[in-house]
Structure 1
Amino acid sequence: MSVMQAINPATGDVIATYPVHTKGEVGQKLDNAARAFRDWSRTAIDDRAALLVKLAGVLEANKETYARLMTMEMGKPIKEARAEVDKCAWACRYYAENGPGFLADDIVKTEAHKAFVAFRPLGVVLAVMPWNFPFWQVLRFAIPSLLAGNTAVLKHASNVPGCALAIEEALREAGLPDGAFHTLMIPSGMVGDVIEHGAVRAVTLTGSNAAGRAIAAKAGACLKKSVLELGGSDPFVVLEDADLDKAAEAGAASRLFNTGQACIAAKRFIVIDSIAKRFEEKLAERLLARKMGDPMDDSVALGSLARADLRDELHDQVARSLKSGARNVLGGQIPKDAGAFYPATILDGVEKGMAAFDEELFGPVASIIRAKDEAEALAIANDSPFGLGAAVFTEDKTRGERIAKEGLEAGVCFVNDFVKSDPRLPFGGIKESGYGRELGIFGIREFTNVKTVVVA
């Protein structure tokens, strides 16, 4: 029997071993989800909303257990893991309160007796989710999808199997009917067969660009709706009139959050040349102040990367950038201690053609790119295949709003703060960062049949 192993990346120890589902077991779970859809889709939306409130309570009651599980399986600092559970509970309550209104019939005035748009569930939605936010990534999809009346199956990342099963159990404890949510303990190679299954009506993926292309191609071949949230190399633009202390503090928080393993983390720091040296010094000071170590320690801000191979890949990107002419300001060396750790690192003099400019750095490495003025800064910011998030810092809020709205090519833009997701606001990217939206009113409508009804 094939198995999945959960390995603590901070120590290298095997935490637990889980059996992989057979093809027959997967088929049975998909059939169960299709059967559950018939009743769940007809359940009153107020009752579905009430279940989300119960789920929020389950999450909060088990916060410490879930947080420790996340930290053990993928190495995030324990205090960030607790905050992740809190954010999931917030999303539950937000959608419980606002989701029914988002899905209410939209009356359209025409010459007919009555015309309206209804938002009806599609059926079984497959979610292929990553390891970096093991609870949030799953629940930010599942909460609105389930509230809309869909059922769901989850293929989670293979290094967080315990989190995947814990989420399924939490939904069951909250009262979700049998079959309405299943975790599929399968390798990536089986995902194509799941998409082909007649029960699956749509698929959502958060992950790499390569995975996104494969999922999109398979879903397209099957004529099934897909939503993709892929990689990012988010620009963090610091203009000459910015508050440098505020910008440096936000930059450090963004670059080190989740040990730098976030698609929307600030990665390319594009700074006007006249202030670049001062900004770099302030950023370095703040990065150095953040402690790296045992992620179970409440005082630690920089935990382990999720796997040793990911740490090695990141270091290779740093080494290639230095070889191409970048300057090492801070960090850049693999620690000798055990675990998949990598220190906070700053590379200056980064230019197009270097790995630190062209590739996504999924770890605590900040690339400093200098620009002579606003126009050049925006040109550099947009000179990327990615378009997920972007931030700009300026004391002129009107200028910042104009840049965010008209100048930056990204799906999520922040002025004088770092990019973050919020249940109240749509989240997603453009270009090679994917398509479709999660969260907010747009997220709950993604996996619905936007149905026109006309009564003559």
Structure 2
Amino acid sequence: METVAKVSPIKTVNPFNNQLIKSFEVMTDEQINAKLALADKAFQNWKNVPKAKRAQLLRRVAHLMRVRKSQLEELATLEMGKLVKESRTEVELCAAIFDYYADNGEKFLADKPLETPEGSAFLCYEPIGVLLSIQPWNFPFYQITRSAAPHLMAGNAMLLKHASNVPQCAQVMEEIFLEAGFPEGVYQNLFIPGNKIDALLADKRIKAVTFTGSEPAGSAIAAAAGKYIKKSTLELGGSDAFIVLDDADAEQAAEAAVRGRMWNAGQVCVSPKRVIVEEGIADLFMEKVKTKFAGLKVGDPMDEQTDLAPLSSEKAVEDVIKQVQKAVEEGATVITGGHRINRPGAFMEPTILTGIKPGTAAYQEEIFGPVFMFYKVKDEQAAINLANATDYGLGGSVFSSNNERAVKVARQIETGMVYINHVTGIAPELPFGGTKHSGYGREQSPAAIYEFVNAKLIRVTTAESAY
């Protein structure tokens, strides 16, 4: 008799105290197929819904997120551990993104006339079908929003495979879409393990995939999408450079660097991971950073006064500790921190590493935790060279009192985004995405809505000139 392996349930574990909150059963192949069939059927109707009506429903989602903000911010904090004040800001950002596409989507999707010497021509933008969205846990609502808002506005349907440690966040978003009045099947959540993704991508009803996560997983998804000739967008993290030029305000730069790195307990793709400072200001900058590190309050993420939350899981903190230990073995120096905090939960000390040498793991890898990698460099050109000495290219920052100089430096950094006198940020109207091994494609801004549409050319000529 053939035995069937038992599939482990999807679990919510609070990283503040490592207590199990809730479990969800993994969907069967039959349930997955039913979801796919419903999505495909829903798309056939949704693509014909007037854009103004789609916009109205997006506004309703934004409204409901604001109404249910207390519930949503608590869920995000319970499931992945982020500070509740950060969860609140995330929910507000998501509502703004839905409003942005509701306000602008119809304009973005309007026919675009093209100049041609004879007759007329234009592009029209048509949805392509059911999209698979695969998202990580670090921003459980924002990651959903930045893929769902533009692509649903464009007339596509969507299936979400969210990270396994934020199932309640995934579930509540499907509830909100339905409550807002979206037709059943246009947006659905899948409780499935990663090993089901290839079969989904092979299914003809899935037309494209958008993924945010690790480079190895993204490479596998891109390969599968290519195999089945399906469009993909990837955001694969980064090792962002935070350049402080010698004419910068040291206090402003230090405050931004520390707050940016401790944001979401260091679990942000665009946080300042490699802090590169010109030697003329480096010692002053570092003294200010150490003072700010010493003043950070570590504790309950539900407490509004807490500055540093736990990491998302026991595995997450163990992985970061191993990376720090390996960096030290390869010659780096820990200025402060470097250990777990002796208390329940997935807590790690705020850490500063320096003396990181080319060719070592820390020099190339992304460390996804509250670890500050500090580099002192001789001059501006050395800062640019170091910033580009990575396979990643997502975001970055340049601090200087001279904006013209900062922009000149920013133009030479090989990355998708550079912010001047600010950590890499997020706004609905600004494109988000990277280059090199950080992936391809753009989310947010007008650019996002064109990622998964058919830009169809229609050419009009007189009958006499048709040939």
Same fold (TM over 0.5): yes
Q: Pick one of 19, 26, 42 that aligns with 1:20.
A: 26
Residue 446 of structure 2 is aligned to residue 435 of structure 1: no
Residue 427 of structure 2 is aligned to residue 422 of structure 1: yes
Read off the aligned partner of 1:211 and give its amino acid letter.
Answer: A
Read off the aligned partner of 1:87 and give its amino acid letter.
Answer: L
- What is aligned with 1:44? 50
- What is aligned with 1:231? 237
- What is aligned with 2:10? 4
1:67 Cα offset (Å): 0.7
- What is aligned with 1:191? 197
- What is aligned with 2:156? 150
Q: Pick one of 193, 218, 227 that aligns with 2:224.
A: 218
Aligned positions of 1:31-110 closer than 5 A = 31-110=37-116
Residue 211 of structure 2 is aligned to residue 205 of structure 1: yes
Which whole-Å CA distance do the structure 2 matches of 1:145 and 1:21 have between them?
A: 25
Moved more, 340-349 or 229-238: 340-349
Moved more, 128-137 or 341-350: 341-350
Which whole-Å CA distance do the structure 1 matches of 2:16 and 2:340 have between them?
A: 14
Which whole-Å CA distance do the structure 2 matches of 1:288 and 1:352 have between them?
A: 29
Aligned positions of 1:242-391 closer than 5 A = 242-391=248-397
Moved more, 322-331 or 419-428: 322-331
1:112 Cα offset (Å): 3.6
1:111 Cα offset (Å): 2.8
| CA deviation profile, 1:141-176 (whole Å, cap 9, x unmatched) | 000000000000000001111111111111111111
- Give SS of 1:64's match: helix
Read off the aligned partner of 1:193 and give its amino acid letter.
Answer: A
- What is aligned with 1:134? 140
TM normalised by structure 2 equals 0.96
- What is aligned with 2:453? 448
Which whole-Å CA distance do the structure 1 matches of 2:275 and 2:360 have between them?
A: 14
1:296 Cα offset (Å): 1.1
| CA deviation profile, 1:262-291 (whole Å, cap 9, x unmatched) | 000100001112221111111122222221
Which whole-Å CA distance do the structure 1 matches of 2:322 and 2:243 have between them?
A: 26
1:423 Cα offset (Å): 1.0
- The unaligned stretches of length 5 or more in structure 1 are none
Read off the aligned partner of 1:314 and give its amino acid letter.
Answer: V
- The unaligned stretches of length 5 or more in structure 2 are 1-5, 462-467
Which whole-Å CA distance do the structure 1 matches of 2:393 and 2:226 have between them?
A: 22
- Give SS of 1:205's match: strand
Question: Do the aligned partners of 1:423 and 1:440 also contact (CA within 8 Å) in 2?
Answer: yes
- What is aligned with 2:117? 111
Alpha-carbon RMSD: 1.0
Question: Do the aligned partners of 1:20 and 1:186 also contact (CA within 8 Å) in 2?
Answer: yes
Question: Do the aligned partners of 1:112 and 1:454 also contact (CA within 8 Å) in 2?
Answer: no
Q: Pick one of 405, 410, 417 that aligns with 1:399.
A: 405
Which whole-Å CA distance do the structure 1 matches of 2:55 and 2:373 have between them?
A: 44
- Give SS of 1:179's match: coil
1:259 Cα offset (Å): 0.7
Identity %: 42
TM normalised by structure 1 equals 0.98
Question: Do the aligned partners of 1:231 and 1:433 also contact (CA within 8 Å) in 2?
Answer: yes
- Give SS of 1:370's match: strand
Which whole-Å CA distance do the structure 1 matches of 2:227 and 2:359 have between them?
A: 35
Question: Do the aligned partners of 1:318 and 1:355 also contact (CA within 8 Å) in 2?
Answer: no
